[in-house]
Structures are given as C-alpha cells and as structure tokens.
Amino acid sequence: MMITMVFAGYETTASALGFALYVLATNPDLQAEFHAELDEVLDGDRSTFETVDDLEFTRRILKETLRLYPPIHTLPRQTTQPVNIGDYHLPADEEVHLSVLSVHRDD
C-alpha cells in the first residue's frame, strides 16, 4: 500500500497539480472563473467529499490539464503474439511504447 502511494500516486499527483497551477498562472481569465467557483461553492470552507462534485469548473481545469500535460506521457507494453497495426508489423515479445501525449493532441 505504501509503495503504491509513493511510486504510483505521489509523483503523478504532484505533476498534475504543478501543471494545473501553471495553467491557472498563465490564464488569468480561467483563474478568475476558478476563484469565483470556489467562492460560490465553498464560501471560504475547504472542499469535502460532499462538495467536491459541485466544483464542475475546477474538474474541467484538471481534466484539460491532464490532457495537455499527462504526468505519464508514455505507456510501455509487450506484444504476446505477432500483430499488424495498420501498415506496421510487430513480432511477438516486442516492446511498444504508446504515446499518451500524442493521443491527447491533434497537432
């Protein structure tokens, strides 16, 4: 449990929050709307499991941050048998890296 939290949960969450702050810092309009939602929904309180679902704009900022700056940008996989993907042929036991970053963008 501890190892899961530290290796799978810590750096990913830190990266996501860091980039969310970057997005807010570089988009003053978004930041203003974000603060307005916090004021309206939380009214100075901390968020809880009961109120977190009401932070719709905040959730959209986090989702868009994860799309633009995915903390895990590539996923390694290993083929178990030969496979054709489009024009590409992959033999068995080949290591393949899926680019999350590219899938999330259209440029």
Q: Which of 32, 52, 68, 75 binds ligand HEM (CB under 6 A)?
A: 75
Distance, CA of 68 to CA of 102 (rounded, Å): 10
Give counts: helices (H), strands (E), the chain: 5, 4
- Residue 16 touching ligand HEM (CB under 6 A): yes
- Residue 71 touching ligand HEM (CB under 6 A): yes
At 55, the amino acid letter reads: L
- Residue 52 touching ligand HEM (CB under 6 A): no
- Least distance from ligand HEM to the Cβ atom of residue 87, Å: 25
User: Computed from CA positions of residues 100, 27, 33, 41, in that sequence, does the dihedral angle turn out positive or negative?
Assistant: positive
Instruction: By CB under 6 A, name the binding residues for ligand HEM.
Output: 4-5, 8-9, 12-13, 16, 71-72, 75
